[in-house]
Structure 1
Amino acid sequence: MGEREELVETLDKHRGLLRRTTRDLTDAQAAERTTVSELTLGGLVKHVAAAEARWARFMTGGAEAIRGRDGEHGPDDQEAWAAQFRMVEGDTLAGLLAEYERVARGTDELVGSLPDLDLAHELPRAPWFPPGTAWSARRVLLHLIAETAQHAGHADIIRESLDGAKSMG
């Protein structure tokens, strides 16, 4: 197995853990806050899908492909930014999971088609990125793995608080 396949396989493992936390839930349960944070299971799926889609665009188009109207990383509209972390009217868990699956397939196909994982772009201007730093496609994939794993852990805590179910065990 090559590097690309290993990276995609690892990312997919963590995607699966996140999806597993939503098994057998209703839309109302997926939208329920069970901790002091704003996070919900549906909101986490929605956020991770949106983040993965942005980073996939970055791998081929650089910061321009993910830049907001104000030139900064992320949207100008703070309400729209916050809405990506929660289920809003019209969102269903099935729809969010289907979108996540569509994004994941697209990322996997992109990784297989890239000429080189060393292809790099300068990161967008944002307080959390050092100015002038560039990330390769490889680094982006490592970031996606870390972010997906972190949010799968958040999801496991939320699910356990919701009804005692765990994604593992």
Structure 2
Amino acid sequence: MLFFWSVLCIVLLQRISELLLAAKNARWIRASGGYEVGSSHYKYIVVLHITFFISLILEVMYKRELHSLPSWWMVPFTFFVLAQLMRYWCIASLGRHWNTRILILPGAEPLRLGPYRFLRHPNYWVVAIELLTLPVTFLAFTTAIVFTLLNAWILLRIRIPLETQAVYQRQRSK
């Protein structure tokens, strides 16, 4: 259980620091004339992530199977750690443009740096991987399935189309 609580605390500290960075970047973008697109769905993303952590904790505590991890725990956990490395590659590549919101800076070209040279929406891939692999590491299979599906639904039906449309309109309006 100590490993679970340690990992959970590290991930929660990561998320808090990322939200602080996103707020700082948002202030810079807005001060530079930028604006937000699709803010109405953002609250659902926040709720999804908060309830993910609550569900993870409740499922792990309910099962109480973590006195010893399964022999294969390193497989999903390795993918989780690799996803964290990819997340920070995304953040470093976008610099001040990285955010948890869809913020458009008029006149700025979409950045094609780091993983963005190879993948569309690599940060969304990171989130998908971690919502699956972190719970599986700790045998929280219900949390893994439910939140992976909910995240995919929000991303595929709402977030990615909004972001793509905002980028397309920005390029078209030049």
TM bucket, shorter chain: 0.3 to 0.5
Q: TM-score, structure 1 length as denominator?
A: 0.35
